[in-house]
């Protein structure tokens, strides 16, 4: 089967003066695209590189693939992740991963939390701060965490992004509002252990691939954040436990919250859900990633899938199979 790959590389974007140092953090590397292409070829498909943005639109019309494997993060707005699947939908081309509605919704963390909470999924209390004045009206229990409303890959999240007082919060929020040109999500801090859950499938058929606990090596767990510095230096900063070294009932509870969030947001095919326990041991939904980073070495979902008995090629194959099954087709 001819499968187009939609992607945005860090190198597609010209370096600009100013802007936050992590502004390209979400974009992919050539290594990731090459690994996907190689896995698709090994599964008997013909991979075609389509790229992202305007280049994608031209390439998809020219190549007319039978399926698009989408990892394109898009550019510019909070709906950016919806661009590629919206074009595919318009052209009637099947596409892997979630649809435009889910991708746009989940990038905005407050929107995602509202929808998840409406379905009974526990998630920390929060406030959306559009300007500094809004901080005066904040009615949350400290400590809190402050992060850009619609980013991923821990953009704007550092080890110091936890604030214990209103004054510390103000000092955190100011540079975020200036640097990331979007509102800031202020959320009650969950001081318990942190997990990320890989999910395969759609709706009722969705099931966990595995649960991974992220265990800090150098930071006291109660103050830990799986921040930008930690993700860039994960080999030294954290240990990954798959499965977590926790009682089975605890792991099941985490997986249930992840599955409930995946279903509440209408995710399709694959997704990675972040769950953290609060101080009372209640697993809370933080956010989910319907386009989880899929670098063959560093991708969290790849690490957890591999350690759960689903190596890279099988993970790519499973995503393709899920997408085709939604279209009533079996993978050739
Ligand atoms: N309410 C919270 N309580 C405790 N820790 C939090 C909270 N919100 C965020 N964090 C910490 O900050 C990290 C990054 O936050 P979050 O997952 O929201 O960002 P992201 O950039 O979307 O992540 P990803 O790399 O998964 O796309 C979390 O993994 C967690 O360690
Ligand atoms: Mg996250």
CA distance 60 to 69: 12
Q: Each residue of 142-178: pLDDT tens digit?
A: 999 999 998 888 888 888 899 999 999 999 999 999 9
CB burial class (10 A; 0-12, 13-18, 19+) of residue 234?
middle
**Ligand 2 center from residue 155 Cα (angstroms):** 10
Calculate mean pLDDT across residues 97-108.
97
The residues lining ligand 1, judged by C-beta closer than 6 Å to any ligand atom, are 124, 145, 147, 151-155, 157, 187, 189-190, 194, 225-227, 274, 276, 286-287, 289
At residue 10, the pLDDT reads 84
Task: Tell the residue nearest (CA) to atom 13 of ligand 1.
Answer: 226
Residue 19 has pLDDT above 90, yes or no: no
Residue 271 has pLDDT above 70, yes or no: yes
Domain residues of the chain, as ranges?
2-96, 125-188, 194-326
At residue 157, the pLDDT reads 84
* Chain centroid to CA 77: 16
At residue 74, the pLDDT reads 94
Residue 236, H or E segment:
helix 234-237
* Lowest mean pLDDT across 17-26, 124-133, 171-180: 17-26
Architecture (CATH level 2) of domain 194-326: 2-Layer Sandwich (3.30)
Ion ligand 2, residue ranges at CB < 5 A: 274
Q: What is the mean pLDDT of the chain?
A: 95
The domain 125-188 belongs to what CATH superfamily?
ATP-grasp fold, A domain (3.30.1490.20)
Closest CA to 317 of 100, 47, 28: 47
At residue 199, the pLDDT reads 98
Residue 12 has pLDDT above 80, yes or no: yes
Calculate mean pLDDT across residues 34-53.
98
At residue 158, the pLDDT reads 87
**Ligand 2 center from residue 329 Cα (angstroms):** 32
Calculate mean pLDDT across residues 233-261.
97
DSSP code at position 141: P
Q: Say whether pTM exceeds 0.85.
A: yes
Percent of the chain topping pLDDT 90: 83
At residue 176, the pLDDT reads 93
Query: Would the CATH topology of 2-96 be identical to that of 194-326?
Result: no
**Ligand 2 center from residue 167 Cα (angstroms):** 26
Fold (topology level) of 2-96: Rossmann fold (3.40.50)
Residue 17 has pLDDT above 70, yes or no: no
């Amino acid at each position: 089967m001819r499968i187009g790959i939609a992607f945005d590389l860090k190198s597609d974007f010209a370096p600009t003066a100013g802007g936050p140092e992590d502004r390209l953090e979400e974009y992919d590397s050539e290594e990731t695209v090459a690994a996907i292409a190689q896995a698709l070829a090994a599964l008997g498909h013909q991979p075609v590189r389509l790229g992202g943005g305007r280049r994608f639109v031209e390439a998809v019309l020219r190549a007319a693939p039978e399926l698009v494997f989408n990892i394109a993060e898009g550019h510019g707005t909070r709906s950016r992740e919806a661009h590629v699947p919206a074009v595919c939908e318009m052209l009637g081309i099947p596409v892997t991963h979630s649809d435009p509605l889910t991708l746009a919704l989940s990038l905005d963390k407050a929107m995602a939390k509202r929808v998840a909470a409406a379905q009974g999924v526990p998630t920390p209390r929060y406030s959306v701060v559009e300007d500094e004045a809004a901080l005066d009206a904040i009615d949350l229990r400290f400590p809190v965490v402050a992060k850009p409303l619609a980013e991923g890959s821990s953009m704007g999240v550092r080890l110091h992004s936890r604030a214990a007082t209103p004054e510390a919060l103000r000092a955190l929020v100011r540079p975020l509002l200036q640097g990331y040109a979007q509102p800031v999500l202020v959320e009650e801090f969950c001081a318990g252990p942190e997990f990320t859950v890989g999910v395969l499938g759609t709706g009722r058929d969705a099931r966990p691939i595995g649960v991974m606990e992220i265990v800090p090596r150098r930071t006291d767990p109660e103050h830990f954040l799986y921040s930008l510095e930690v993700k860039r230096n994960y080999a030294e900063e954290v240990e990954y436990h798959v499965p977590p070294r926790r009682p089975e009932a605890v792991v099941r509870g985490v997986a249930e919250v992840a599955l409930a969030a995946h279903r509440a947001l209408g995710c399709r095919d694959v997704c990675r859900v972040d769950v953290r326990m609060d101080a009372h041991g209640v697993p809370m939904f933080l956010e989910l990633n319907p386009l989880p980073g899929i670098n063959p070495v560093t991708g969290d979902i790849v690490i957890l899938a591999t350690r759960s008995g689903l190596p890279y090629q099988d993970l790519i194959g499973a995503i393709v199979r899920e997408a085709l099954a939604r279209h009533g087709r079996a993978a050739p």
